[in-house]
Structure 1
Amino acid sequence: MDFSSLVLMERENETGFVKKELGSYKVSEGALFIKKLYMIDGVVNVFFDTNKDVEEWEYSAIYDLFNVDCFKEKGYEVTEELEEYNPSFILKFDYVDDHNVMQEKISEVVDLIDQSMNKVFKDIEGKEEEYKED
């Protein structure tokens, strides 16, 4: 699937219902990893995962080797979402009511996600025996 943009929606805090569209942002192919994007109470929530099913050993390896620090260094909050079938993460940052600033932030986030996911898949290569359970 080719991505050209992501739409940021505002959700109601109490119900989770969509209130309004906040903007549409041009993105790179890294957006393939993003599953949900919305804002609640001034905080943008970006849900992303591996964009493909992984084997059981890869699940653990990805969580062990995924670099959350590169996000934290840029001021983003990242947490693991362990309830999903594939390794998934939630990234959060404050919403800014300036389209250009948000475009820069969302582009940066998409690029970081893309780089981090591609890196972790390279980093787990050859580690199957280390992570396989007997």
Structure 2
Amino acid sequence: MENYNNLVLMLKDSKTGFFDKTMGSYEIHKNMEYIDKIYAMEEGSKLYIFLTLTTLDIEEDWKFSGIFDLYNEEIFSGKAVGFEELSEDYNPKWIIKIEYSEDHKKTEELLNELLNIHTAELERIIPLINPEDYIQE
């Protein structure tokens, strides 16, 4: 049996911050551990999905800095309408903003694709981080 998880998308009220209703459930094929949270929210007359991606636990501060320095946000070009780094948390995080689609299959494919892109980028950059560039004596 294939290993997968379901990701539930909730609509968040932009004024109260409360979750109002379930928008859908999406099958995530792998790397679910890189998803910190997800929700949908209206901005103006449009509905967007806000997907927060993270890393596995980063124990060294120098790796934290290196990941942010080397992470290429351009990899989401053409797929996301917004990208934001979150550096105030324990592990690096990024918010990927995409347009909501009522086409369930299309949204599910896009979520899996974004997660695969993110995971591949982490696999590319983590070995490139040189501690000497970040450790100060």
* TM-based fold match above 0.5: yes
Partner-residue secondary structure (3-state), 1:39: strand
Q: 2:90 aligns to what?
A: 85
Q: Which residue of the partner structure matches residue 49 of structure 2?
A: 44
CA distance in 2, matches of 1:107, 1:52: 21
Find the aligned partners of 1:104 and 1:3 in 2 and give their Cα distance. 14
Deviations 1:47-78 (A, max 9, x none): 11112133111111101111211112434422
Distance 1:78 1:56, change over 3 A: same
Superposition misfits of 4+ residues, deviation over 4 angstroms? none
Q: 2:6 is matched by which residue type in structure 1?
A: S
1:118 CA drift (Å): 1.8
How far apart are the structure 2 equivalents of 1:89 and 1:75? 12
User: How much has 1:131 moved relative to structure 2?
Assistant: 1.2
> Does the 8 Å CA contact 2:38/2:49 hold for their aligned counterparts?
yes
Tell me the number of residue pairs that the alignment of Structure 1 and Structure 2 aligns: 131
Return the offset for 1:122.
Answer: 2.2
1:28 to 1:122, Cα distance in 2 relative to 1, 3 A: farther
Aligned partner of 2:31: which letter? G
**2:17 corresponding residue in structure 1:** 16
- Once residues 129 and 73 of structure 1 are traced to their aligned partners in structure 2, the CA distance between those partners, rounded to angstroms, is 35
CA RMSD of aligned residues (A): 1.5
Given the superposition, is the C-alpha separation of residues 56 and 66 from structure 1 closer, same or farther in structure 2, using an over 3 Å criterion? same
Q: Which residue is 2:59 aligned to?
A: 54
Q: Is 1:48–1:89's contact at 8 Å kept on the other side of the alignment?
A: yes
- Give 3-state SS (helix, strand or coil) of 1:121's partner: helix
Tell me the TM-score normalised to structure 2 length.
0.87
Give identity over the alignment, percent.
Answer: 30
Deviations 1:66-125 (A, max 9, x none): 12111124344221112112211111011011111111211111111211122222222x
Describe how 1:96-111 pairs up with structure 2 within 5 A: 96-111=101-116
Task: Structure 2: state its 5+ residue gaps.
Answer: none
Q: Is the 8 A contact 1:81 1:89 kept in 2?
A: yes
1:8-28 superposed Cα distances (whole Å, 9 cap, x missing partner): 111111111111111111112
